[in-house]
Structure 1
């Protein structure tokens, strides 16, 4: 019933009356429609940064496509989703930042799901593809200043006699676990069983926990101890772009063999560590090999619900956080490396509410270079057994989930779904690297790690290979099958100069957009030869070369 919000009503944020009035003015209905105002959680701040800095689109707008047998089932779906929005504060939340020292989120008392009808062009192909392309997050954005941070775009797919829809939602409002809660509550609404749902847990509880728990000074001391002497970023495959604006993404999925799953869990139990620790160490092995480092840093996704307070497991909102993990490889033995990785992960959990920006500032990597460009998301996922229950079949009758996608701003991400009895790997990597290739590296790293734990636990980590047998064969044998007819009376530089005479303007060297023709390359080679001769170099002299990869 308040007609004006005052500073004393907002215990989680320090705002003067003028700032509060400006914030309230952004909400339809004014103060009567404002339920709460409080700060952003750590990862929400990071996601907002990427939202504001993106020149086009927003990688954190996620979408899932659905098909409906008729308009009635579509409307039932929308009503069920609106019922979930009405129950949970985070789904009625907008974000305000202009003119403020720090951004805040504003909970509306009422926020209606935005519905947008789309008409498909029958000559432009599949309706679902048209829908996905129209709302491609590389070009499309959601207005995060308006609640709810989701919308439902739908249209009639006449060719297939159905309706299709794309549910767009912003990652600032929902994480992976929250989506499962939304599905559970929508199912209850579709079955008319909402009275059985537990009381909702406000997202403000988590924000308070994150803001009022471990102090900033304690966070800084921890990350300075872990990262203070790290002065170079870990850039697998040389991938540097962590803004997510300049790369298409290749995606691949792969299930681990049941035998490997059992061996991993057995070795984790024997070592007294979590399976997640083994996966983190294997991922570090892969990153070390493809970045040329024996001391690596990568981002790991922390669930955030462990210390989120009572009921956090059924709360909606962005609970997860991304923080850096440092893993030292090199001469360290395999078993010692497992123990050290587990200890560092355990310590990191005590700081799961710290901001990534704070952690990165504690390293010696100078901005604007990123500290890391690869991410690991290890998550315990439902096996889907409940989806086959009689009540679930009844609730979702006539509604089919088609596909969805998850993206981050990182050019290399490994998602590991722990199904309880089985693992599923999903690799997202900048196009040109090969997502399936990286899946192969991860599986090989896990296999060699578990084999070493079983047989040679003292072997140094650097000696564990990550190449699958097929790629090892290609590197050692296939690439070396270079037998060719060769004029033994001619020298290599003689052959080269003959090629210069034949095609002087043809492309000889291409490196990152820089080009040299055969004529230009020959001229550079001649200049180098004259220089070496002046230094006293003669035929059969040995000259050491130390140079970065490039035209030189």
Structure 2
């Protein structure tokens, strides 16, 4: 059986369905360790694989297999080591290898596509000459990873999910990963919304197993992240919206149903305070300003 993790989650959570494969291959999106625990408990005799690879690398490039790999400790299952005929490099902005344990961009070599049909500019951007092996090519995945001492690769998000909020560069994938360390959160997504022109805010979307107040979510994030990386609002969903390919559909994430600037409120008490509050309400497009 081969499927995206969200589909496997739905199958294993449904008591009316039954699968018992020799091999369960998960690919296409992050594979949370919580799902691995469920799969191992539900399918004790099944080999479980986490496979990674973009189409440009003729699909499969790296793999993690439950039979020969220790239990992962993070919030997501590693994407493993390069498969036969593939090479994987973790490089910095200057295309130099980064040390073990340090995040960098993943570049792939071996069995690459020729390029994008009738798109030479895009081909030149994504398929580059190997800086250390003349005559070879690399594919720039746009994925952030880090290599563990045992050689396995851990996926950390997309580098094009980096956003800029009030002068700070923020990796939304880092916030999502931290949210997933909360014991009651099973899925998480973080995006930037600008529902009011000029007012950009981080919004966190979570799927939970028990009700979690927003204050608890902020406190959980604040334990390891700086204040500018804390979402201004959280939205709890029954499930994250998926596109036809079974991947997260960020465009379908709903707007918050409450003011992301809401917090402790003290009404203006003087004429000057009321005048200032009215000016800021008009500028920010909100109903009240304390």
How does the TM-score come out when normalised to structure 2?
0.26
> Which is higher, the Rg of structure 1 or of structure 2?
1
How does the TM-score come out when normalised to structure 1?
0.16
Q: Where is the strand percentage greater, Structure 1 or Structure 2? A: 2
* Higher RCO (C-alpha under 8 Å, 6+ residues apart): 1
